Structure 1
Amino acid sequence: MEVLRKSSAFAAEVLDVFERSLSDKELVAQAKALCRDFILSRLNQNGLAWSKSELNLTPARAALADVSFVLLCLGDELERILPSLYTNVARQLNISVAMETMVSDAFIGVATEIFSTGITWGKVVSMYAVAGALAVDCVRQGHAATVNVIVDSLGQFVRNSLVQWLKRRGGWVELTNCVVKREICPEHSWLSSALDSLRYFLISMYVYIMKEG
């Protein structure tokens, strides 16, 4: 039994090292997968349908399930606190969602502004909230295919500006560690009672993650 425990501990250490040694390409791919999850949740919340032939919105793989769950919960809380900021984003930016280049440039510009004074997990959540809100605008106005442009733009920004910061923190999984330790049941709805049970954590942790670099 002692040998088994040591072997398990060693395996856990190896896995930890592996998770903390993700390549730039892997971190960007995970960022885009999380973005697809976030957008899917926002489209569902707004009762919007989309054509699978138009969008490539494959959900994040199981290894990112915890991260995606926390990101969605924090996004819900952020949008609850600042509802006007994450509604009608295209109109606020004065852009046409019919023009893919304009949407991409606008998103990159907003992301650049968000992180202009440093990087925090709170700002990362804010970037995803902008992506989700902009995607809702695109689908609502009949330009669902532009959603893929938003996902790609987020990936581009992560590649150029956030990859090294993510590496220093051990990757996307660190987002779950800085919020709350918990177990998540696979069948647990991401958009129902989970948010209520975590809300008292999120209200206090929101301030923390916005300030921590």
Structure 2
Amino acid sequence: MNVLLDNLDLYGPFFLTTIELFLWSAVGSLILGTILAMLRVSPVLAFRAAGTTYVTLIRNTPLTLVFAFFVFAYPLLEIVKLSFFTAAVVALIVYTSAFICEVVRSGINTVPVGQAEAGRALGLTFGQILGQIVLPQALRSVAPPLISTLIALLKNTTIAAGFSVAEAGAIRSYLSERGDNQLIGLLWVALGFIILVAVLSLIQRSLEKRWSVAR
């Protein structure tokens, strides 16, 4: 307990950064992942090829390399200067959206084809069919794997500590500099992540209960 109380100036701000990093990355990943899923099921061959190429490439690339690109290689392009925090958010979005895409696509495939055909019979466009008919049903069916992917995202935020982002994963190195017990310090970090994961699990159960009733 002394390790925690003596280093509240680390645990508080660093976990707050972790939460901010997770929230920004989660929102971005959900948006980009859904767009990629729409590309994957598009009737246009070029769109399907683009979505498939992105997902295949990113899913088979280690997250550390994605971080290294945006932190070290991207600045050499001199397009837009990114802070370490922003670069970490972008890296997490680029990586996680590939997994979100596959989750959403699997949900789209669970929706009966007849509903899309009915939408076309009513004169709806492909975008309208997806947005108004297919996606609302697909997202209801994939709540558990979607939250599981976000939990993985939460844990992946610790990689940002290796790229100059002061978040929960960096607490150990600061405790080392202060001469505090690093093992005890890491146990408190683990407890913090357990609490955050428990919150996401509660959200998952709530969504499952609400959407199951809606169905």
* TM > 0.5 fold call: no
Whose RCO is larger (CA < 8 A, sep 6+)?
1
| TM superposition score category, shorter chain reference | 0.3 to 0.5
Q: TM-score, normalised by structure 2?
A: 0.34
Structure with the larger helix share: 2
